[in-house]
Amino acid sequence: MPRTIAEQTEHELGGPGSVLVRQRKDHEELDHLLHELDATTGRAQEEVLTRIDRLVFSHAFAEETVLWPVIRRVLPDGDELTRRIEAEHQEVNELVAALEEGGPDHPERPVRLARLVEVLQEDVRDEEDLLLPRLQERLDAAELRRLGRRWELVRRVAPTRPHPTVSRRPPGNALSGLPLSLLDRSRDAVDAVVRRVPVVAPAGQVVSRGLAAVAGLVERTPPARRGDGPPTAR
């Protein structure tokens, strides 16, 4: 069995810019945030959950648009392997969307939060122990660094919120990525102002809901749903 990337040195993973190093760094940050989430309640927990969302969704978008197509090309069982991860990503999208819709007082919130943590941890293990070591076997260090640069570029301009109906595969995710990123990041900025300046909260919440409604329209357009299939198609 290939060796998990969790136990390898940075040099073994292809150097600082390698996509494997970048992936593991995000996973380490996620682990820290999940521990922080477990130690908080109320508004503080909501803040941590927001930070988790921003990390997880941009990370997953970069994987689905940059990494997974390469894996499907270089591994004979790449399609099966990436579908497994895509199903986990889809469940994360649905759980976070349900948490946002239900709010902090929903009776199913504790169960949904617990399942979210479980799926995120499963996703990290599947990637670090199963998928990424297989990619490492097929690409040299220079290729891993080139892929890392592409992955980082896409991650920096990726959507930051759940979009359960968007395709997990090209061309749908690529076509919807830019408009959804602009809407998500605009909404992030509005929500940040609302948290810092409560007096503008009523107006800010109206703007945020409006941006969310537009994003919902974008993610339900036919182009945004192209390329998906079971088990992630919605």
Claim to verify: residue 86 and residue 180 sit in the same structural domain:
no
Claim to verify: residue 92 and residue 199 sit in the same structural domain: no
CA distance linking residue 151 with residue 154, whole number of Å: 5
Asked which of 137, 158, 179 is the last residue of a domain, the reply is 158
Query: Rounded to whole angstroms, how far apart are CA atoms 127 and 27?
Result: 10
136 and 170 in a single domain? The answer is: no
Express each pLDDT in 120-159 by its tens digit: 999 999 999 999 999 999 999 999 999 999 999 999 999 9
pLDDT of residue 39: 95
pLDDT at 100: 92
Question: What's the distance, CA 80 to chain centroid?
Answer: 19
How far from each other are the two terminal CA atoms of the chain, in whole angstroms? 34
Q: What pLDDT is stored for residue 62 in this prediction?
A: 97
**75 and 58: one domain?**
yes
Same domain, 147 and 184: no
Average model confidence (pLDDT) for the chain?
A: 95
Q: Are residues 147 and 178 in the same domain?
A: no
CA 22/CA 183 separation, integer angstroms: 26
Q: Let me know whether 134 and 191 are in one domain.
A: no
Residue 7, classed as helix, strand or coil, is helix
- 19 near 148, Cβ under 8 Å? yes
- Same domain for 49 and 9: yes
Q: Which of the listed residues 158, 188, 218 is the one where a domain comes to its end?
A: 158
Structural domain span for residue 54:
1-158
Q: For residues 23 and 18, what is the distance between their CA atoms, to the nearest angstrom? A: 9
Q: How many independent structural domains does the chain possess?
A: 2
| pTM for the whole structure | 0.94
Chain segment 196-232, per-residue pLDDT in tens? 899 999 999 999 999 999 999 999 999 999 988 776 7
Written as one letter, the residue type at 174 is: A
62 and 141 in a single domain? The answer is: yes
pLDDT tens string 61-95 = 999 999 999 999 999 999 999 999 999 999 999 99
144 with 215, same domain: the answer is: no
Does 34 share its domain with 125? yes
CA dist 24 and 30 (Å) reads: 10
Quote the tokens at residue 75: 């591994």
CB neighbours of 118 closer than 8 A, spacing ≥ 6? none
Report CA Rg, the chain: 18
How far from 163 is each of 91, 96, 139, 193, 207, CA to CA, in Å? 11, 9, 31, 23, 19
Question: 110 and 187: one domain?
Answer: no
